Chains A and B, each alone.
Chain A
Amino acid sequence: MNNQKEYFHAIKIVKENCTGCTKCVRVCITEALRVRNGKVELLNDRCIDCGKCVQVCPFNAIQTSADKLSTISKFKYKIAILSSSFAGQFSQKINYRAAKKAILQIGFDEIAEESMVTEVISSFIHDYVKRHPKIRPIISSKCPAIVRLIQVRFPSLLPNVIHLEAPMSALAYYFREKVRKEKKIAPENIGIFLIVPCAAQVTATHQPEGTYKNLGDGAISAQDIFREVMGKLQKKEETEKECDVFPKGLTWAISQLEAEQINSEQRERARTMAVSGIHNANKVLIKIENQQLETFDYIVMDNCTNGCVGGIFNIEDPFVASSRIKDMIRKGATKEFQTEYFQNLYHDGKMDVLELKPRPITALDSSIKNAINKMKQIDEIIKKLPGLDCSACGSPTCRALAEDIVAGKASIDDCIVLMRRNRQGKKL
């Protein structure tokens, strides 16, 4: 029943560093990790690249792999597209415009920002929501970990996911065409790199799932760019190049602001809600599946705390970064970015994406008859297990161990609590 497709993951296990502590196993929402023979293993078809295991590992045994800055040298003309959360990484002492300008000194020819188009894309989302009154709620698709969570755990909700390009993908599309026309550079010589706050965005760039057509040439970690930028700023090297900033559009760094923007005063009312954190999203998705949230028009859902500001590649913690970004939005001047091009893209249907396909992992067998038998076997094993969900066996819960045993991937002897009970004559 397991999907044969090979999935790309921006999460890599470094076995030498792993002590088999099972911290990661317990935190994984899709139960994609097991410790076997003292080392952690990643179940490729289950992993959604949320990165919670990376954050929780004390031994640096689970690492992320974003594209290196050096990869940009393969291209003649290099463009960086910044996630809105990047603006929250710099303290008050550092002017954001100066930080952005420094990116031009580390090898890029042009810089774009997600914030240039968040307003126009919010208006498309609002329009999409009004055009699909029978689907409620509609769920945002900007966060790749959420899209993948829905594919593997809630495939029945795939029609609820908005099938529209995200701002950074739309910008990649726009800049490839603009540079080709204006600078007469062949598309294959134009390198478009997303500066991303998380591992899921790296995965989405390398293996897009419908919603993300492969529009970027690579995804570089915000951390790496931050380090380079700080280096340039400390040396006080000035550049003559200029660049604009678009603070009013930084809204999409924070889930709550993204939801409020869809329901802005300029538009017809839409009932929106924002959910952040993968475990919170999971709870809300269960409610959506039960049709408990049909009164909501649009729900913004993000893997990380507060939204993209909580991404694991960020330097600053999500609360400080949120506060800074909110301040920038409040004080920032409105800088208009011409949106006619995007209006045309939207009306020509070029913002539409491929239909999202399920990646189900829950089924126990391809035949319902066999699956019922397995379910009974699992129940029998669960009765024998201690029910502590301690993960010491290497599976996340007693139920998961029972499932692994029935699937032939583990043995009841892996349960050390049972082993001790048996040795002590069931005294424990």
Chain B
Amino acid sequence: MATFSVNGEARQIDVRGDHPLLWVLRESLGLHGTKFGCGIGQCGACTVLVNGRPTRSCQLTVEAVEGAEIMTIEGLTADGLHPLQEAWIEEQVPQCGYCQSGQIMSATALILGGNVPSDSEIDAAMSGNICRCGAYSAIRRAIHRAAEIQAERTGTRSGPASEGGDR
């Protein structure tokens, strides 16, 4: 029996301890927003938050998350759109869309606590997530934009989000 919370709700799941969290979310809880891509932690499609940290759920056993707080794309906000989701729509990021739940969950860490990420921070945080449609430039723009939206919502002023950088 595994016990943890998902999107704020306490859950007890009757599976073996070595069962990957991804398939508990998808099959036991019917949360299909988290995707299966590679099964070896290489593509990031299965990214969820474990105690607030972006984590690959395909490689994570339920015993490793005993007592943890799990958040999936479905629980990102209690209502309305998260700043990242608003930015994703504004910048029209998704193409096929299959990787985008994982991309958004990975990006949450970048704007946590009002952080305004640089391009190199974005590279570091996002390079574990493959987008086969190649929407990388749109994802980058949307993360910068999400930081602005977050600042607008909290009434704080955000600095210039883009950096020149040597790309």
Whether chains A and B associate is no
